[in-house]
């Protein structure tokens, strides 16, 4: 007879009524960590309140900004030089036939007394400054605009923190500066200096010396008669039409285009961008064109004479002035002492006769 083993089901075993005992260790004896649900709810409520306050402030600011327009200054002052320094204001400067400087300042929106414009005369120089009241209003739609009329021979130094500058028709030296605003200038013959952090620079009919410094913005010159150009840009294209003499252009990210140039001595450099030049080179001048990532296209008069040194790491070199079919660095076209050095790391180099 075989042995029989009997197994009793565990379900028939009476359940123990005593509570389970945790091991006597620090990990098991710690109190449960508080949940973060309450903190998250509080943060959400705070964000909603902030959003409502911002929206309400914007609506109130728009209502406050509908206060109309107020004339702050309207006067003629004898002088031949203007120095104007304002905040978030647009400035327009025009020439006129008068022998004084006419200053018109208009407040748009806000309330009377929000702005104070001070006009002072020091010899032939007129100083215009602007102050705003301490009224706390982040969202108010209010600003001041200036319209200035000046004699043609006058000089101008215009500076605004956040505003556009438009100027035309002066024969004296002009300096323009804005942190966040566009600059437009036309028919200036006494030289121009422009500085802007973020804004386009649009120029036409500029003569004399030109200097432009911008961090983020394109620079455009049309119908120029510039005899000395220095352009510096971090991010933006440079397009110049009508320059001569020393032409120095330096940009980190942007194309360089120079057209209708006259007897220029070139120093053109861009890190990422193409370079195009159409014009003549200065006799016995030293010319350097450099780009790390981009093509170089130079269109020169057919009778140009220069010593060429061209090199590219990844690209081709084409030179219409080469004395042989072999396109190699060091090709010579004539011998008048003019040198042309063209370098690119990744891009083609093309030098054409026009």
Give residue-wise pLDDT tens across range 319-344. 999 864 334 444 555 556 899 999 99
- pLDDT for 47 equals 75
> What is the per-residue pLDDT across 175-206, written as a single tens digit (0 to 9) for each?
999 999 999 999 999 999 999 999 999 999 99
Count of CB atoms situated within 10 Å of the CB of 293? 15
Tell me the sheet residues that pair with 294. none
pLDDT on residue 1: 43
Better-predicted residue by pLDDT, 60 or 45: 45
Helix (H) or strand (E) holding 40: helix 37-64
294, 274 in Cβ contact below 8 A? yes
pLDDT at 27 over 70: no
pLDDT at 107: 96
Kindly state the average pLDDT of the residues 221-230: 98
Mean pLDDT of the region 203-224:
97
Secondary structure (H, E, C), 290-318: EEEECCEEEEECCCCCEEEEEEEEECCEE
Look at residue 48 in the predicted model and tell me its pLDDT: 73
> To 10 degrees, the CA torsion angle through 27, 32, 36, 42?
-140
Question: What does the mean pLDDT of the chain come to?
Answer: 86
Q: Phi/psi at 75 (nearest 5 deg)? A: -150, 155
Say how many C-beta atoms besides its own lie within 10 A of residue 17's C-beta. Answer: 5
Domain residue extents for the chain? 200-353
Q: Return the higher-pLDDT residue of 65 and 331.
A: 331
Q: Find all residues with CB under 8 Å of 275, minimum gap 6, and list them.
A: 255, 256, 268, 289, 291, 294, 295, 296, 297
Please give the share of the chain, as a percent, with pLDDT higher than 70.
Answer: 78
Q: Is the model more confident about 8 or about 219? A: 219
The residue with greater pLDDT, 16 or 46, is 46
Predicted confidence (pLDDT) at residue 230 exceeds the cutoff of 50:
yes
Mean pLDDT lowest among 20-34, 65-79, 95-109, 162-176? 20-34
Residue 112 pLDDT class (50, 70, 90 cuts): confident
Beta bridge partners of 268: 249, 289
The four Cα atoms 304, 265, 198, 176 give a dihedral, to 10 degrees, of: -120
Q: Which of 266, 296, 297 is nearest to 280 (CA)?
A: 266
């Amino acid at each position: 007879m075989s042995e029989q083993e009997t197994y009793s089901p565990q379900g028939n075993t009476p359940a123990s009524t005593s509570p389970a005992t945790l091991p006597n260790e620090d990990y098991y004896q710690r109190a449960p960590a508080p949940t973060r649900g309450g903190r998250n709810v509080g943060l959400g409520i705070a964000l909603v309140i902030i959003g409502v306050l911002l929206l309400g402030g914007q609506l109130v600011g728009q209502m406050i900004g509908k206060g109309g327009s107020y004339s702050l200054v309207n006067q003629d002052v004898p002088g031949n030089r203007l120095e104007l320094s304002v905040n978030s204001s647009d400035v327009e400067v025009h020439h006129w036939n008068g022998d004084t400087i006419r200053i018109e300042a208009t407040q748009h929106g806000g309330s009377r007394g929000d702005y104070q414009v001070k006009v002072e005369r020091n010899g032939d120089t007129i100083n215009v400054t602007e102050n705003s009241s301490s009224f706390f209003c982040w969202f108010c739609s209010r600003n001041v605009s200036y319209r200035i009329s000046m004699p043609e021979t006058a000089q101008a130094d215009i500076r605004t923190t956040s505003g556009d500058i438009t100027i035309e028709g002066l024969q004296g030296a002009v300096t323009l500066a804005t942190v966040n605003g566009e600059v437009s200038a036309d028919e200036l013959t006494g030289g121009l200096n422009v500085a802007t952090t973020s804004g386009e620079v649009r120029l036409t009919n500029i003569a004399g010396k030109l200097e432009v410094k911008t961090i983020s913005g394109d620079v455009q010159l049309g119908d120029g008669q510039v005899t000395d150009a220095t352009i510096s840009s971090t991010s933006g294209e440079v397009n110049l039409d009508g320059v001569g003499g020393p032409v120095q252009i330096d940009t980190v990210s942007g194309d360089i285009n120079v057209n209708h140039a006259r007897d220029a001595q070139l120093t053109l450099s861009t890190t990422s961008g193409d370079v195009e030049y159409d014009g003549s080179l200065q006799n016995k001048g030293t010319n350097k064109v450099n780009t790390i990532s981009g093509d170089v296209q130079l269109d020169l008069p057919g009778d140009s004479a220069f010593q060429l040194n061209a090199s590219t790491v990844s690209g081709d070199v084409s030179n219409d002035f080469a004395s042989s079919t072999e396109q190699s660095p060091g090709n010579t076209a004539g011998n008048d002492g003019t040198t042309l050095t063209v370098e690119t790391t990744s891009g083609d180099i093309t030098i054409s006769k026009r």
